[in-house]
Amino acid sequence: MTLQSVGIVGGGAWGTALAVSARRAGRDVMLWAYEPETIAEINQQHRNALYLPGVSLDPAIKATARLNEIAACDLVLMVTPAQEVRAIADELAPHMRTDQPLVIGAKGIEQSTGQLLSQVVAEVLPQVRTAVLSGPSFAAEIARGLPAALTLATASEAHGRALAHALSHASFRCYWSDDLAGAEIGAALKNVYAIAAGIVVGKKLGASAHAALVTRGFAEMMRFGAALGARRETMTGLSGLGDLILTCGSPQSRNMSLGSALGEGRSLGEVLKSRLSVTEGVYTASAVVEIAAARGIEMPIAQAVHAVVSGLATVDEAIEALLARPLRPEG
């Protein structure tokens, strides 16, 4: 399997960082972006100041507005906001080849259907070989070449190893797994708990409360993952616990910083209006709560986040409800 050329769908911070990383791995890189000014800046000035400021791009990284040029590459990475995956995959569909590798780098659950993104891709692009890339990774750090390790999940070990070899380099390590559901669930749910962790910080509830929140949030992730067929080792690995630790522990996280702003008393609309990038946990929360209700999964923290971001409860009401829950065994 020849995987020399990499096409990346999504010119935001994460897509651009993965373009930089793939180039470091020796790949030929083509990046699709929505905004004409972003395409021009990448091609002419070799930077993406809007989404990834302060990073110089290799002049060999090319940008395009044509999805057919992305589909012509050996390997395609889908790095759009989660709620846009279906629409853009539909545009890609006429151009993608049978058994062409497509790696999902987006993190979320489709709000309108409750489907994992691999399920969305399977519906719209049944001809491709789907993989999932997730794990603890901030775009700015990846672009700077700082060390990171991620999960690369796909059904076939041979396919997974080929993809890992194509995308990995000295400071970017991909560990293969065949548990796509587990890799996706951890990547999606950690954004919901990062909002909750940010609220704890914004409300100045202390480090003890933060540790308790993250730990109990992880217990919810494990229950949710088990109900949807994820393996325990995946949920406790890079794409589950690893990504949760990173996203709940740093203001670099868009989701945690949003939660912090909510905890400080700002409104959701006010915070989102000031942002260019999508805060995925806002959309994932409602999908997670709906799935949990249908399957009888107890997820009080996820429900509290959903209540806050959907306007069903204030931050103080959500905190009070969580603290008033009956005492019970931890396990």
Per-residue pLDDT of the chain (331 residues; tens, 9 = 90+): 789 999 999 999 999 999 999 999 999 999 999 999 999 999 999 999 999 999 999 999 999 999 999 999 999 999 999 999 999 999 999 999 999 999 999 999 999 999 999 999 999 999 999 999 999 999 999 999 999 999 999 999 999 999 999 999 999 999 999 999 999 999 999 999 999 999 999 999 999 999 999 999 999 999 999 999 999 999 999 999 999 999 999 989 999 999 999 999 999 999 998 887 788 999 999 999 999 999 999 999 999 999 999 999 999 999 999 999 999 898 7
For residue 276, the model assigns a pLDDT of 78
For residue 15, the model assigns a pLDDT of 97
* Domains in the chain: boundaries: 5-178, 189-323
Q: How far apart are the first and last CA of the chain?
A: 46
Give the right CATH number for 5-178 from 3.40.1160.10, 3.40.50.720, 3.75.10.10, 3.40.50.300: 3.40.50.720
Active-site annotation holder among 62, 190, 204, 273: 190
For residue 277, the model assigns a pLDDT of 78
What's the distance, CA 266 to chain centroid?
24
Q: Which strands, in side-by-side order, build the sheet including 75-78? A: 62-64, 28-32, 5-9, 75-78, 101-104, 129-134, 148-154, 172-177
Nearest C-alpha neighbor of 277 from the set 8, 1, 13: 13
- Amino acid letter, residue 295: R
At the fourth CATH level, which superfamily is domain 189-323?
N-(1-d-carboxylethyl)-l-norvaline Dehydrogenase; domain 2 (1.10.1040.10)
For residue 278, the model assigns a pLDDT of 81
Whether 107 is a known active-site residue: answer no
Give the Cα separation of 292 and 109 in Å (integer): 13
For residue 73, the model assigns a pLDDT of 98
* Tokens encoding 149: 């390790």
| Residue partners of 265: CB distance under 8 A and separation at least 6 | 315
For residue 305, the model assigns a pLDDT of 98
Can you state the angle between helices 180-202 and 254-263, rounded to 10 degrees? 30
CB 203 within 8 A of CB 319: yes
